[in-house]
Amino acid sequence: MTEEGQHPQALQQPAAAGVNEFPLPSWVPEWALHAPSMKVIPPGPKSRDVVKLDKEYVSHAYDRVFTFTIDRAAGATVADVDGNQYIDWTAGIAVMNAGWGHPAVVDAIRLQSEKLVHSFANDTYFDKEAELARLLSEISFSGRLKGTFFGNSGAEAVGAAAKLSTYYTRKYEFLSFYGAYHGRVGPALNFTSKLKYRFGFGPMNNTLFAPYAYCYRCPFKMEYPSCDLYCMHFMEEQVMNLGGSTGSLAAVIVEPVQGEGGYIVPPDRFMPFLRKFCDRNNALLIADEVQAGLGRTGRIWSSEWTDTVPDILVTGKAVGGGIPLGAMISKPEIMKRWRPGAHSSTFGGNAIQMAAGLAHINAIVGERLPERAASLGTYVMRRLREIQERHEIMGDVRGLGLMIGVEFVRDRKSREPLDITQLQVKCYRKGLLTLTAGTYGNVMRISPPLVISSEFMDRGLEIFEEAVRDFERDLTQAQAAAGPAAPPSAH
Ligand SMILES: Cc1ncc(COP(=O)(O)O)c(C=O)c1O
């Protein structure tokens, strides 16, 4: 990483965009051109009615962030049932990369649904399934990955990757990373590190965890590059030897840019190191591109930034353009080893999924959205760093393309994490939707639809800074109300 914590290759991104350099696409309807537009402080009365019904009947497991009820969305604007319109910096958790309501995706879904909804693709062949698998191969390291299994979510794709890895290698152990998020069902939960998501669901004992290259919070208190990537040596020498391995490592599963863990961009040597580590251990490398993939970081796959070709790649979220879809793509020699019937899903290759996926990926590639993300992302990072100079609590600004994280701390010296739930609330009450991430809930993630305009980004940045200022003021007032800090303990 560079001094500023930026991925070195990000420096080769195109020059920063200026205001209005990127307008919203011409298909965005008139109503969605003007955001934010706040009619009531959310949640408005109509939202509250739905929240009441929901609380009575829907599982509490869904831990809702926003208290409003979503109504419609277009481009990079989300509207609630009370008429509020928000600038969207979430893309619905990195799903709507080509923009909400992209006409090609909407038409594809409509036309396909009139013809065939359920393709019964376990037992019949379906043209769009083959076409989407071909398209995914074409955009995956010039066809070096070829052979796709379709499921319905990111976690399912991770589960399929785990099964394929054990089948292919005849081994059963996995290595994942601190802060990793790979989903919450089946094998995906084994690979997810956070206690909050694992608590009460043991035993899950075929996964070893190693430190991710999270340089801002290096567990070894070292600095890159002088550390010589010590975390990776620790993984190889300590975790593999003393961390409970049975010597049966099937695969390493990794997010090339960590998402839920805090939008962490590792140094450029991290992925190539893992590639070599897997080769040395006859293990497979699984790149989880569910959140970082499909243009978000400025490349189709974030692994491309370091020219690391994984053995298996998993994708989800954006791959279905808003329709639930997950896919696992592998090197052909690995996929070919699976016997027919080795894995299956009733809805795998579903007609609507395939039609929507084809339209969405064609839009991302055809409209050169990765390039747009790279250019706009460089501009946004520069603006955020200017804002950071004025606010001590903005500890780190990092990212690739339009996958940007801002890590909040009590002060830059101690780096004590600062929970930013209230900052997020302030943002959305002012009309800006953001999500948080990170082990301590102290990272704001900026992951808008890639078609967002420079104008919406600029307006969003103004709201963001206003909210940061209000948040700082609240912190100061809370501190004053609490009185002077207690003297240090004698112990
Ligand atoms: C990197 C990563 N992998 C896997 C998943 C799981 O995807 P899903 O929620 O579709 O099961 C997620 C979801 O956030 C993710 O970010």
Cβ neighbours around 242 below 10 Å, total: 8
For residue 2, being part of any structural domain is answered with: no
Q: Are residues 300 and 415 in the same domain?
A: no
Q: Both 228 and 290 in a single domain? A: yes
Q: What is the pLDDT, as a whole number, of residue 486?
A: 62
Candidate from 62, 197, 289, 291 with most ligand 1 atoms within 8 A of CB, to mutate: 291
Contact 155 CB / ligand 1 (< 6 Å): yes
Is the beta carbon of 445 within 6 A of some atom in ligand 1?
A: no
Residue with CA closest to ligand 1 atom 8: 154
Same domain, 355 and 385: no
**Which pLDDT tens digit goes with each residue over 207-224?**
999 999 999 999 999 999
Instruction: Please tell me the residue having the least CA distance from ligand 1 atom 4.
Output: 182
485, part of any domain: no
pLDDT value at residue 201? 65
Has residue 451 been placed in a domain?
yes
Q: What is the CATH number of the domain that holds 63?
A: 3.90.1150.10
DSSP letters, 100-148, are BT-HHHHHHHHHHHHH-S---TTTS--HHHHHHHHHHHHTSTTTTS--E
Same domain, 404 and 347: no
Expressed in angstroms and rounded, the spacing between residue 158 Cα and the centre of ligand 1 is: 9
Q: How far is the CA of 162 from the centre of ligand 1 (A)?
A: 15
229 and 87 within one domain: no
Q: How far is the CA of 389 from the centre of ligand 1 (A)?
A: 33
CA atoms lying within 13 Å on the CB side of residue 422 = 10
In a domain? residue 491: no
Ligand 1 atom index nearest CA of 258? 1
Amino acid of residue 6: Q
Q: Determine if ligand 1 sits within 6 Å of the CB of residue 193.
A: no
End residue of a domain, out of 332, 366, 400: 366
Token duo for residue 470: 């209000």
State in Å: Cα 288 to ligand 1 middle. Answer: 9
Query: Is 191 found in the same domain as 57?
Result: no
Element containing residue 254 per DSSP (H, E)? strand 249-254
**376 contacts 454 by C-beta, under 8 angstroms:** yes
Calculate how far, in angstroms, residue 290's C-alpha sits from the geometric centre of ligand 1.
6
Q: Is 147 in the pocket of ligand 1 (CB under 6 A)?
A: no
Atom of ligand 1 nearest to the CA of 185: 11
Residue 381 lies in a domain: yes
Domain identity same for 300 and 378: no
Of 263, 314, 317, the one to substitute when testing ligand 1's pocket (max ligand atoms within 8 A of C-beta) is 317
**Per-residue pLDDT, 337:** 92
How many domains are contained in the chain? 2
Residue 35 lies in a domain: yes
Separation of CA 477 and ligand 1 centre (Å): 38
Ligand 1: does its nearest atom lie under 6 Å from the Cβ of 291?
Answer: yes
Question: What is the whole-number distance in angstroms between the Cα of residue 81 and the centre of ligand 1?
Answer: 28
Total residue count of the chain as it appears in this document = 491
pLDDT on residue 3: 37
Q: From 366, 381, 401, give the residue that closes a domain.
A: 366
**Span from the CA of 289 to the centroid of ligand 1 (angstroms):** 9
Decide: 255 in ligand 1 pocket, CB within 6 A. yes
Q: Dump pLDDT digits (tens) for 332-369.
A: 999 999 988 889 899 999 999 999 999 999 999 999 99
| Residue-level pLDDT at 191 | 82
Looking at residue 12, its pLDDT comes to 44
Give long-range contacts, CB 8 A cutoff, 24+ apart: 162-166.
162/187, 162/188, 162/190, 162/191, 162/250, 162/251, 162/253, 163/187, 163/342, 163/343, 164/312, 164/328, 164/330, 164/334, 164/335, 164/338, 164/342, 164/343, 165/250, 165/251, 165/284, 165/286, 165/312, 166/250
Q: From the CA of 291, how far away is ligand 1's center (Å)?
A: 7
Could you tell me the distance, in angstroms and rounded to a whole number, from the CA of residue 74 to the centre of ligand 1? Answer: 23
Position 359 in a domain? yes
Q: Which atom of ligand 1 lies closest to the CA of 155?
A: 11
Distance CA 39, CA 49 (A): 17
Closest ligand 1 atom number to CA of residue 156: 11
> Is 290 close to ligand 1, i.e. is its CB under 6 Å away?
yes
- Is 154's C-beta closer than 6 angstroms to any atom of ligand 1? yes
> Residue 452's domain spans which residues?
8-98+368-478
Whether residues 392 and 277 fall in one domain: no
The protein residue with its alpha carbon nearest to ligand 1, atom 13, reads 183
Tell me: do 345 and 406 sit in the same domain. Answer: no
Using the atom order of ligand 1, give the atom closest to the CA of residue 317.
10
304 and 381 share one domain: no
Tokens standing for 197?
């998501």
CATH number of the domain enclosing 156: 3.40.640.10
CA of 90 relative to ligand 1 center, distance in Å: 14
| Any ligand 1 atom below 6 A from CB of 182 | yes
Same domain, 168 and 308: yes
Asked if residue 490 is part of any domain, the answer here is no
Cα-Cα-Cα-Cα dihedral of 438, 442, 448, 454, to 10°?
-140
Domain end (from 334, 366, 398): 366
Q: Which of 181, 191, 286 to mutate to test the pocket of ligand 1 (most atoms within 8 A of CB)?
A: 181
Residue 54's DSSP bridge partners are none
* Same domain? 116 vs 83: no
Element (H, E) at 432: strand 432-433
The secondary structure element, H or E, covering residue 207 is strand 207-210
Task: Give residue 282 CA to ligand 1 midpoint distance, Å.
Answer: 26
Q: What stretches in the chain show pLDDT beneath 70? A: 1-20, 201-204, 485-491
